[in-house]
Amino acid sequence: MKVQRAILTPVAYTAALAVVGLAGGVTTQDSNGIEDLPASRIAEKAFDATKSADSFRLKGGTTSGPDEIQMDLALNQQGDCKGTIGPRENVTAEIIKVADVAYLKGDESFWKEVDAGSDRVALLADQWLKVSAQSEGFDDLAEVCDADQLLKGVPDHAAPGLTKGKIHDVSDQSAIPVVRKDGGVTTRMDVATEGEPYILSLNQTGGDEPMDLVMSDYNEPVNAEAPPADDVLDVEDLE
């Protein structure tokens, strides 16, 4: 039996819903004036600016059904990424994706948590697992590192009911919130009011998939490199 979706999907697929990063220190950039625009225009400009960034960092958590996911990732527009994903803050695996190959490394507690199977835990623990594009489960891991997929959580600027709030600080950066309420689901996006109007945080309450999101380190290099070959176990070799 090969290690495939039964191992890779529980964390990778759900982690793609989560988008959170740590914003850096105090900034002294010039005001971009975005707070003077209607909420729909703020949302539109924030989405465009964030989508055009070469890279950014995400850190935080989300819930999808019974699954709680934590993520701390740096990713770029080429689909490369490096960081951690896991079901809880203290149970995570390292992930690296370079071009069409992904690598996942978790300890024993991680593989037990994602139900890898008792006969696989000792083999997989603390070992880099290589998942190539032709391997089942790769698409789920690649989705974690897909900036476009992650931005699907941003409120649609064309949707009715968007409102803006008062300027406040998000991790020491000035931001203005844009809020959309849809039934029992409330989505809030905080947009930088200095420098580029990047999304600094994304939060959703109510519904089946609450999340708490912050984004940072825009345009910083993503140092994603394949681990040493001697430390890698190819998922295709597992039967």
* Structure confidence at residue 151 (pLDDT): 80
Tell me how far apart the alpha carbons of residues 42 and 167 are, in angstroms, rounded to a whole number: 13
Q: What residues have CB less than 8 Å from 236, skipping those under 6 apart? A: 2, 132, 135
Residue 81: phi and psi, rounded to 5, are -155, 165
* Structure confidence at residue 189 (pLDDT): 94
The two structure tokens encoding residue 69: 């996911």
Assigned fold of 5-220:
outer membrane lipoprotein receptor (LolB), chain A (2.50.20)
* Structure confidence at residue 211 (pLDDT): 85
* Structure confidence at residue 42 (pLDDT): 96
Strand, coil or helix: 23: coil
- Write down the pTM of the prediction: 0.80
SS3 content of the chain, % helix, strand, coil (to 5): 25, 35, 35
* Structure confidence at residue 141 (pLDDT): 82
Strand, coil or helix: 229: helix
Cβ-contact 85, 102 below 8 angstroms: no
* Structure confidence at residue 66 (pLDDT): 67
pLDDT in tens, the chain (239 residues): 444 444 455 444 344 333 332 333 444 578 999 999 999 999 999 999 999 999 999 999 877 666 677 889 999 999 999 999 988 878 889 999 999 999 999 998 888 887 666 677 888 889 999 999 888 778 888 888 888 877 877 878 888 889 999 999 998 999 999 999 988 899 999 999 999 999 999 999 988 888 888 899 999 999 999 999 888 988 887 75
* Structure confidence at residue 217 (pLDDT): 96
* Structure confidence at residue 142 (pLDDT): 84
* Structure confidence at residue 206 (pLDDT): 86
